[in-house]
Amino acid sequence: MRKLRKSIATIFAALAIMSLFSVNAFAATDLMKDGKMISGGFVNAGEEAEGCVKGPGNWTQLNMGDYEVNAKYLHIVMKATGATDAAQIVISDTATFNLKDLGITLTEEYQDVVLPVDQNDLAIISWVNFTGLDGGSSVYYVKDMFLSDDQASSLGTPVVGTPAVTEATSNTSENLPKTGENMIPVVILLGVVACAGIVFVVTKKSKRA
């Protein structure tokens, strides 16, 4: 019985450690939040506005502080005004994403543009350029930027490689992405930990009886 209790205790400790690692594994890495740089970068072309960075459609440039690519996807919560068919995002002068080719059409409502950075030989994110549009009539608005292994859009808008879907998205704060809050796997692990703890207590009480 003592060996059984020791084994249960070992499993309990291992699951607890796994749950801590899972919090980090499933959390997103914020580079920009509400228009504020978190990665240590700065706005090179454009300006900080209320809750976002805005800049001309022909060249809005953000320095992201040479942040290491540690996930599969770069999520950019953004919108644009004017004619947006030619919208482009160029990352680190290495990868150019034509949003139209990806089935993404920018509108005056925020959407989550999801880019597969791990498939384009990107080791770091240094400069992110928003370009391709008319600099006089079009304006880019960039709210959030984060890295994640989850391709699913945080706003329910189309993801890269899928046809565009017309879906109205609200610009209210409650509908904006909650980065780093995919907690379902963690909840499952914590449930397993709790069960192991119950078994351990019951086993201990049985021995005393």
Mean pLDDT over each residue of the chain, to the nearest integer: 75
**How would residue 23 be classed by pLDDT, with cut points 50, 70 and 90?**
very low
- pLDDT mean over 27-53: 91
| One domain for residues 114 and 188 | no
* Structural domain boundaries, residue 47: 30-166
Q: 74-92 pLDDT, tens per residue?
A: 999 999 999 999 999 999 9
- Residue 8: the pLDDT is 55
| One domain for residues 56 and 132 | yes
Question: Where residue 90 sits, what CATH number does that domain have?
Answer: 2.60.120.430
**How would residue 163 be classed by pLDDT, with cut points 50, 70 and 90?**
very low
- Residue 203: the pLDDT is 55
Instruction: Tell whether pTM > 0.85.
Output: no
Contacts of 121 (CB under 8 A, 6+ apart): 94, 95
Q: Tell me whether residue 173 is in a domain.
A: no
Q: How far apart are CA 29 and CA 158, in angstroms?
A: 21
**Helix or strand holding residue 17 (H, E):** helix 2-26
- pLDDT mean over 134-140: 95
Give the phi and the psi of residue 100 in degrees, each rounded to 5: -60, -40
What's the number of CA atoms in the CB half-sphere (13 Å) around residue 57?
19
Q: Tell me whether residue 176 is in a domain.
A: no
| One domain for residues 39 and 16 | no
